[in-house]
Amino acid sequence: GDTNAEKQLPLRIAILGAGACALPGFLHHVLPHVQIDAVENHNDVCIAAREHFGVKALEKSGRFRLHEECALDWLAQAADSSVDLLLIDMEAGDSYDYLRTSVQDDEIEVDQSQSRSSTRMQPDAPLLAPPRPVLEPAVLNRCAEVLADGGVLAINALGSAEAVHEAALQISAVAWCSPPAAALDGTLSHRLFLQ
């Protein structure tokens, strides 16, 4: 059975694509027994995170590390079985250009009838997140190696329903993927589990 010491081991979370660390900071706040490795590739974003979003204080806690490096490089160097929850929240790099062009070309519908405006991707929207290299079998297999027994991989996907479904099919080659579920806004969502 589990001893009390084993039950107290901190949950280890890695977030690839940490941005200004809003999500990692939230997790640090609401989960006081976690160790967080946040990985962000862009120096200017890391500077902003430390100077304006409280990351300096988070790093002083001893439970939070912001790594300024390519997420795939970090993943390649991570120890096997070292992460309980791996969150991939990286965009493909062309999201801003697509969204800017789409808004100008009216390819994204904005529903003004709701109290909050919402956007809906057109059926031909590309996969904006994650970057295609994340969907490669070698990367997904590396994710599986980095995860501890019972670990969870969560990938934020953004694009048309067709693009997200196609990404889920690629991931299902190395992971179990739940059937698609329709979200309130009509988009599709998949739950992905490594085998």
Give backbone dihedrals phi and psi of 191, rounded to 5 degrees, phi first: -100, 130
Mean pLDDT of 29-34: 93
The better pLDDT of the pair 190, 143 is held by: 143
Can you give the pTM of this predicted structure?
A: 0.76
Q: Could you give the CA distance from residue 56 to residue 53 in angstroms, rounded to a whole number?
A: 8
Closest CA to 59 of 82, 28, 27: 28
The better pLDDT of the pair 158, 186 is held by: 158
pLDDT one-digit tens code per residue, 71-116: 999 999 999 999 999 999 998 775 445 444 444 444 444 444 444 4
| Residue 186 pLDDT greater than 60, yes or no | no
- Residue 18 is predicted with a pLDDT of 94
| Residue 7 pLDDT greater than 60, yes or no | no
Neighbours of 53 (CB within 10 A): 17
Neighbours of 66 (CB within 10 A): 21
Closest CA to 121 of 171, 192, 183, 190: 183
